Structure 1
Amino acid sequence: MPAVFLLLLLLPLISAQTFNWGPCPNPHVQDDFILQQYLGKWFEIEKLPTYFARGKCIEANYSLRKDGTIRVLNSQVINDELMSTEGTAVVKDVREPAKLGVSFSYFTPYSPYWVLTTDYTNVSVVYSCTDILRLFHVDYAWILARSPSPSPETVKKAKDLLISEGIKISGMKATDQSCNDV
């Protein structure tokens, strides 16, 4: 009986994720990534479903801390209330600066945050994957933009890149960016 109860509690989290069989893909990331140019505000345009970002007007703001880590401030509007979460990102290997790790708790390991491509001023395509015993994996993918409404061509190009890297995006959903000042 406790196992059934636990499963019922976890069902919303499981249903809000994108599971696929096999190990994580290994997509190519942005060559010559320049972190300083990436910092600042990004609007979430589309994403694969996640349990932690279900609101609207989702934004991420990245800034450099004195200790060299990156402050990640994510915000979203849920039930007309602005909610925010602060985390930390780090460059895991200076030879691959587009492969960052991000954590929103001292108790959790850094999760992948890979910048597949960015032009720094308009769009960014980000991917993350969690491998579960190489039997299946959980995909996360985001299309971010510096404005809340990039052109349809920009979004299509971002999706085409994800597909070309072997990332299944059929479950990708647009983020509602139409908020009044909350």
Structure 2
Amino acid sequence: MQVLGVADALGLILDWVGQKEVLPASPPRPDLPAALPSVIAVSDALGPDFCSIGCHNNTLLNVQDRIWRPEDMRPDAKGVLPLITENQSVWQLGFVHSAPEQVLVKGDWLYGDDDLQPEDWCPLSMTSEDALILAVLINGFFGLFTRFETREEPDFEIRPADCPVLLWSHQALGIEWPGFWTDSDRRRLHFGGFGQTLIRV
């Protein structure tokens, strides 16, 4: 399985938690990222106990980085709305209503794209769907972290041999970022660059 869109990323998380049925997403709006309603629907279906050990009331939307609900978004002085905020507010991804699929970045983007450190919003080579895939996989990993065995890898940058199948990566994360990996039976989930692998029996 390769993650080609938000639906695949959400399907991966649902498979790992053993839940297949999800409430239908609300209809997309032309002024919001098209993939956002599906992410919210799955998060709501998984509920506040998605991250259940030591993480009270953390949903898929906020286990690690924050994925914003439309009703909580407020445009800044330049009309940019928040889409994803890194958990320490080091960087933020946003968009404008007139071009909701173009991601803008502000702050110290930790990954690739020439080590962007913009003081103001600038375009990032990601679509909103790409950004939501990244957030779903990161938040999903940290939520699943509480449910499965975790293996610490000796080298953050080296993919373990038992995870040979690339799930997802993106050029905006830099050529050296290893991405997310699994095995043919999808019993392992490796977070490249974080140096940990989840294992389910």
The bucket for the TM-score relative to the shorter chain is 0.3 to 0.5
TM-score, normalised to structure 1, is 0.34
TM-score for the superposition, normalised by structure 2: 0.32
The structure with the largest strand share of the pair is 1
